[in-house]
Structure formats: C-alpha cells, structure tokens
Amino acid sequence: MTSDQIILFSLFGAVFGLLLWGKYRYDLVAFAALMLAVVLGVVDSKHAFDGFGHPATLVVALVLVVSAGLVRSGAVFLITRTLVDASRSLGAHIALMGAIGGVLSAFMNNVAALALLMPVDMQTARKAGRAPGLSLMPLSFATILGGMVTLIGTPPNIIIASIRGDALGEPFRMFDFAPVGGVTAIAGLIFVALIGWRLIPQPEAAQNGGDPMGDHGQYIAELTIPEGSKLIGKRVKELDDEAAKNDVAILGVVRDGKRRYGTQRNTELLAQDALVLEARPEALDEFRAALSLDFAEAGRQDKLTAEGAGLSKIEVVVPETARINGKTAQAIGLNWRQRSVLMGISRGGKRISKQVRKTVVRPGDILLLLVPAGAEADVTEWLGCLPLAERGLAVTQDQKVWWAIAMFAAAVAAASIGLVYLPVALGLVVVGYVLTKIVPLSELYTHIEWPVVVLLGSMIPLGAALETSGGTELIAGTLVGITEGLPAWAVLTVLMIVTMTLSDVLNNTATTIVAAPVGIQMAQALGKNPDPFLMAVAVAASCAFLTPIGHKNNTLILGPGGYRFGDYWRMGLPLEILVVAVSIPAILVFWPL
C-alpha cells in the first residue's frame, strides 16, 4: 500500500469506528476527517469542498424541501384521510399503510414519509385499541423499501447515480431503479404484511391497546411541593395511597437540585422538594391536581399561564436531527426561549434517574411538554421533533394541494425524459413552492437536514480521494480474491451482503460512498458490466433492518413503538435474507452481467 492509501484507510477506519461508538454526531466526525485529510495532503485543498456543491448533496437538500411542500399543501393528508380506517384488521391495516408509505417514500424522502404517517398510524392504533408497536415497525420498513424505487426516494440512490455519472459518463435516471427496487419492495411489503409483523416481540407494557402513550412506557417526571403545601412535614411513604389511586409510582426526591439516594420513603418533605414520579401523562396531571403540586421548574408555571391562553400538553418524538438531541432542556433554554416546560421523558420503558430537565435527550425519546396553548406547532418545530398525534405541526394549505402536485409531477416527468437536469427540476419546484407560499420563505432552510448535507459534503471528497489513490481498487481486488472461482452472481451476492452488513451499523450515506466505487472496481476486475454491481449496492445500502441505528426511520419508531435494540432483527433478518434472494435474480434479469 502507498502512504496515501494507508492514511485514507486509517481515516476511514477512524470514521467508521467513531460512527459505531456514537459519542459524536456523524456530520462532525466526517467533517473532522475531511479537514484532517486536507492537512495530511491526501485531499487537495482546492477540491476539499467540492462535495458541498455535488449534485448528490444538492438533490438530497432539495428533496427535503419538496417533501415539506407536499406535506404543507395537504397533498399527502388527502391520501391518508381517504384511505386509513381504524376498523380494518391489523394485517389489512399494515398492508394498506405499508403500501401508502412505500408509494410516498418513492417520491419524497423516506424519513419525511414516515414522519408524516407515524402519527396517523398511532391514532389508528388508539382508535382500534391495539399497541402501536404492532404496526410502527412494519410501517418503518415499508417506507425504507419504497425509497428504493426511484432516484429521489433515498440518498443511496442519489449518490450511486452521481457516482455512475462520474465513473461511466452518464448517471442513472429517475426510474432506472424501479425494476429492481420495485420487485424487491413489493416482495418485502408482502412479507411485512403477512408474516413480518407477527415476529415482533411486544414488551409487557405494550400489550394493552388504547392510549399509545400508555402502551409503550411510562414517563419519568418531577413535580414540586410549593410553599405552604399541606404536604410539608409529611413523609414520602404517606403519599403512597394517593399515588396508588392515581396510578403513579414515586421513585425518589430531589432536594436543593440534587437527587437523593434511594426512594427516600421516610424522608420528611420540605417546600421546593421535587418528587420524582413515573406515570402516564393523564395520571401525572391528576396526581398534581389532587395534591396541589407545582411543575418541577419552580416559579415558571406563572410565566406560562401569564400568557392568558392557558396551557397545552404535547407529546413529541426526538429524531437525530432535533435541536434537543444530545442536550438537556435546560441547556437549550426550552423555558426562557419557548416558555415551555419538559414534564417527562419516556425512553422505551427504561427508567431515568436524573432530574428530567437535566437529562440528556436521545433519539427515539418521547417528550411530554407543557406549552402555551396555541404554540404547540411552533415549539415542536423549534425543537425539530415530530408530534405523536394529529395536532397539525404546520397549517396545511388545502387550497394549493393541486398546485403542489402539478409542479412536482411536472418536474419528475421532465427529469425522467431528460428534458431538465434533476437538480434543476427540483430547484424549480422549490422556487414555485416559495412563490406560491406553499413553503414560507422563513421556513425554507429549516426543512433541510443540515447534518446530512455536511456528511455528504465531507464524505464525497474522501471517497474520491480513496478512489484516486487506488484504495477502492485494492478493496475490490481483495473481495475478488476471496471469491475467486465463484460465479459472478455469487460475487455480486457477497458484495451485497457486505454492504448490507455495513449499512446496518453505519450511516447508509457513508456506506454507499465507499461501497459504490468498490462495486465498479469489482466489475472491472471481473470484466463485467458495472451496473448490476451498482444496483446491488443501492439495494443493500438502503435495506438496514437489523438495528435501530441502521436507518433514521428505525430510530424514530424506537420510543413510540416501545421497542428494544434487539427487537429489530426478529423481523429484519428474514426480511434482509428475502431482499437478497429476490433482488439478485431481479438484477440479473434487468441489468445483465
């Protein structure tokens, strides 16, 4: 190996190691690696930021804005309101929601498709009296599968199309992925609807239907004893009867800002002590009212109620890109910036021992927030979270629904026949959405997932440097050597399995940037057509079903579904096997070697 190859392999090894560790966010890791590569001389400083202007980066950003416009216009709600019915059987509901999710995610970002459909699915579960965990994982998998069908459905397809353009002179077009992606998605959706959902283990807390919040875990919350309270001087254990009556568990006491050891059952209560409680949202409210307790943020209830419009409780799920992810409510200034209070956190039934407003929030957590009435959408959007009920995160523009659909359909058609370059077509749609106020100008940039943009912008130059240095050729040669003597379809299968395994534990964008050039080099080493190898990478990089960290959609449902880390592989492993079994023959038929 050359010195440049050693440096680049070391950098990629460090990047993958840090991504697996998860302590630092992926965009920071990738950007730091890029800067180090420039300093070490393996990436030319003149080309260090080429990735930020790369077509793949632009398309990913534009697709997110277009997705937001389709949601705000009411185009997607028009479909869900018409088709979803709580009276259907679970299997029929999963089949229908999976089909809707699959179609939507083919034409909009699959994370946005799930974010839109998740509250609909949970409301349907509530009305049907069943646990949302029975249908959320199938919905997540369906939106991942649907994204494989078109160029804009998922970032791996966008990246692979661009890499093909750079390497072979012409990128994949809008529907080039449809034959293989469509067949694989349909097979996957049939499996999910008929068999897959039956393999999902349900935690004990999620067995009873009704309130989806009660289905998947309790909140850890704090309520404060006010000055002059009749509880002052009483021991904690004397509150047991009232707690039992309201279905509340008393976990401990916070005094002078510090959590006291144990449950403190014999401790005499003082003014401004905070009780650490575990309960459902309604139970917390009843217990607070029964004992005349205050919210944990002492003195801030007045600040909230001074608005004159009253208070509202909302429940939101935390995605990776949320402002509060990796931070505490106190650190981001939730109260003084948004006049809101974090009342509780649900983390898949896992107990939280620290003070709630000082607890670091993680992706998949569900937050119970107390906000001024009428400010629910503003607070939710400021946090970057997703609502868990039909509360209307943004007011839809129903009268503009057909304008939104027409502009998007025209852009897709024009890009498909080669009339307009895809990034330009999507850019024109964004301009149209802004001019017609479907997407307000003030919100234009809030819909772009900037960490993904930074990740792409940083990884693309690193991937290009690895290819230029001969690193991808070295990896491809190693894989070809390992599979020597095997037929080409078997080599294709090995590439797919390796890529899929990486995607299960790493960001699928990073996986694609490394695996796609390797696929091209393997094809050239074997004297075969590179297209089937690129298609194999496209399918494999998208299909991350084994863990909650392999795809953002899997992370989003972790809390609301009440899942544990080890629950995903039960449906995900047979699904991944099915994907390989179906997609390899499809690739060989539609993209011959």
Among residues 558, 544, 507, the alpha carbon closest in space to that of 364 is found at 558
Query: What pLDDT, on a 0 to 100 scale, did the predictor assign at position 381?
Result: 83
Distance CA 204, CA 567 (A): 13
Residue 254 is classified by DSSP as E
Q: Is residue 324 part of a domain?
A: no
pLDDT tens-digit readout, 454-468: 888 888 888 888 878
**Residue 427 carries which side chain, given as an amino acid letter?**
G
Q: How many CB atoms lie within 10 A of CB 550?
A: 25
Q: For position 258, which CATH number holds?
A: 3.30.70.1450
Which alpha helices (H) appear in 436-487, and where do they start and end?
450-468, 471-482
Q: How far apart are CA 486 and CA 548, in angstroms?
A: 34
Asked if 591 contacts 538 with a C-beta cutoff of 8 angstroms, the reply is no
Q: Is residue 235 part of a domain?
A: yes
Task: Tell me which residue range forms the domain holding 266.
Answer: 226-292
Asked whether residue 247 is domain-assigned, the answer is yes
Domain membership flag for residue 279? yes
- Spatial CB neighbours of 589, under 8 Å, sequence gap ≥ 6: none
pLDDT at residue 562 in the model: 78
* pLDDT given for residue 166 in this prediction: 86
Tokens encoding 460: 């693309």
Residue-level pLDDT at 399: 62
Query: Which H or E run includes 130?
Result: none
For residues 76 and 83, the answer to whether their CB atoms sit within 8 Å is no
Q: Is residue 28 part of a domain?
A: no
Q: What is the 3-state secondary structure (H, E, C) of 289-355?
A: HHHCCEECCCCHHHHHHCCCCCEEEEEEECCCCCCCECCCCCCCCHHHHHCCEEEEEECCCCCCCCC
pLDDT digits (tens, 9 = 90+) for 564-587: 877 889 999 999 999 999 999 999
Token reading at 271: 């003014």
DSSP reduced 3-state for 73: coil
Residue 487 lies in a domain: no
Give the model's pLDDT for residue 389: 59
Angle at Cα 261 formed by Cα 260 and Cα 263, nearest 5°? 90
pTM over 0.85: no
Per the structure, how many domains does the chain have?
Answer: 1
Helix (H, G, I), strand (E, B) or coil at 476: helix
Phi-psi region of 226 (alpha: psi -120 to 50; beta: other; left: phi over 0): beta
Give me the helix-helix angle, 450-468 and 55-72, nearest 10°: 160
- CB neighbours (10 Å) of residue 180? 26
Look up residue 272 and give its amino acid: Q
Query: Alpha-carbon distance 456 to 452, whole Å?
Result: 6
Q: What is each CA distance from 287 to 67, 82, 271, 367, in whole angstroms?
A: 42, 39, 17, 19
The torsion region of residue 299 among left (phi > 0), alpha (psi -120 to 50) and beta comes to: left
Which pLDDT score is estimated for 509?
82
Could you tell me which of 432, 445, 411 has the C-alpha nearest to residue 152?
411
What are residue 87's DSSP bridge partners? none
Tens of each residue's pLDDT in the chain, 593 residues: 789 889 988 998 898 888 777 778 878 988 999 999 999 999 999 989 988 988 878 887 888 888 888 777 777 666 666 666 767 888 899 999 999 999 988 888 787 788 778 877 877 887 777 888 889 999 999 999 999 999 888 889 999 998 899 888 888 988 999 999 999 999 999 999 999 888 988 654 444 444 434 433 466 778 888 888 889 999 988 888 888 777 787 878 888 877 776 667 788 899 888 888 877 766 777 787 788 888 765 444 444 444 434 567 788 888 877 889 888 888 888 877 887 878 778 876 565 655 676 788 988 888 888 787 777 888 888 898 887 754 433 444 456 788 888 898 898 888 888 888 888 988 999 999 999 888 888 778 877 878 878 888 888 888 888 878 888 888 888 888 888 888 888 989 999 998 998 888 777 888 888 889 989 988 988 888 999 999 999 999 988 898 877 788 887 787 778 788 778 899 999 999 999 999 999 999 999 88
Residue 389 lies in a domain: no
**Is residue 120 in a domain?**
no
